[in-house]
Structure 1
Amino acid sequence: MTDRSTIVLLRTRTFSPVLSLLSYLLAGTFFGVVLVKSEAASWYRIQEMFRFQSVHMYGLIGSAVLTGMLITWLLRKVQARALTGQTIHVQAKDPGLPRYILGGLTFGLGWGLAGVCPGPIFTLLGSGVWTMLIVLLFALVGTWLYGVLRDHLPH
């Protein structure tokens, strides 16, 4: 086997479903720890942000946006490949102000009412905040409702 065939074999190799699920579990656990340690899952920090009393959450959100922009730029620049060998392609979004306004208002209303965005729901459940089960239930209902109404919404 030549070096070239080894590279092709590694690029087309598939990983077992258990290994894939384990990697997602580890990544999710790491993300949850980061959310708790950075206080992004704190209801008090979120309320401070909505009342413009602290810049803590704005700094977290801003750093996440900058990190996402940098990683997306790098993926496009180096034409990165997935573990399966497929080129990672980040699709450009069609411009459309109404969908961003409607989506932002819906997301912000839910965030303001619940005091938590979707990511920390599971983190807070893992931390023993069982009232988040109600938030999770309504997040799932909202997701189902979006699926029902999707064809009638601006995309």
Structure 2
Amino acid sequence: MLKYLLAGTAFGIILYKAELISWFRIQEMFRLQSFHLYGIIGSAVLVAMAGVWLMKKFRMKSIDGTVISTAPKQFSRGQIYGGLLFGFGWAAIGACPGPLFAQVGAGAGVVLVTIAFAVAGTWLYGKWKHRLPH
């Protein structure tokens, strides 16, 4: 468990130093005033695309020896609703779920309220999943 704690701490420091958890940077992004976060997110998408392409091209295997594969995804209206809800929440709160703990570690204790609501939202989704459009 120590190695995961150290890796998470290092990742949180990187997020903090790159200003990826800054409420002001996130607001700049949503107001189209800065390219900072768009550039980082865009480069992450490109790296992920290259990684998936390489895994498929070379038929890479997981630790247990099975070939890594990705299943095709089907489009649904729920993806639009979920994306809009996620985006509005991200813009209002100033954080996506990923760096919430890094924000708490940086001293923004009020983010604990956001974490509580994220957990509550996850629980509600699990409870109402069968009624939602998928």
Q: Same fold (TM over 0.5)?
A: yes
Paired residues, number: 134
| Greater alpha carbon shift after TM alignment, 85-94 vs 115-124 | 85-94
Say whether residues 1:129 and 2:108 are aligned partners. Answer: yes
TM-score, normalization by structure 1: 0.78
Unmatched segments (≥5 aa) in structure 2: none
TM-score, normalization by structure 2: 0.89
Q: 1:68 aligns with which of 38, 48, 52?
A: 48
Say whether residues 1:44 and 2:53 are aligned partners. Answer: no
Structural RMSD (CA):
1.7
Q: How far apart, CA to CA, are the structure 1 residues paired with 2:31 and 2:60? A: 41
Say whether residues 1:141 and 2:133 are aligned partners. Answer: no
Task: Provide, for residues 23-57 of structure 1, a one-character-per-residue CA deviation record: whole Å limited to 9, x for no partner.
Answer: 54444333322211221100000011111111111
Identity, % of aligned pairs? Answer: 50
- Which one-letter code corresponds to 2:59 in the other structure? Q
Q: How far apart, CA to CA, are the structure 1 residues paired with 2:129 and 2:44? A: 28
Partner of 1:149, secondary structure, is helix
Q: How does 1:61-140 map to 2 (within 5 A)?
A: 61-96=41-76, 98-140=77-119
Q: Which of the pair has more CA radius of gyration?
A: 1
Larger RCO of the pair (alpha carbons < 8 Å, separation 6+) = 2
Partner of 1:118, secondary structure, is coil
Unmatched segments (≥5 aa) in structure 1: 1-20
- Which one-letter code corresponds to 1:122 in the other structure? F
Partner of 2:98, secondary structure, is helix
Q: 1:84 deviation in Å?
A: 2.6
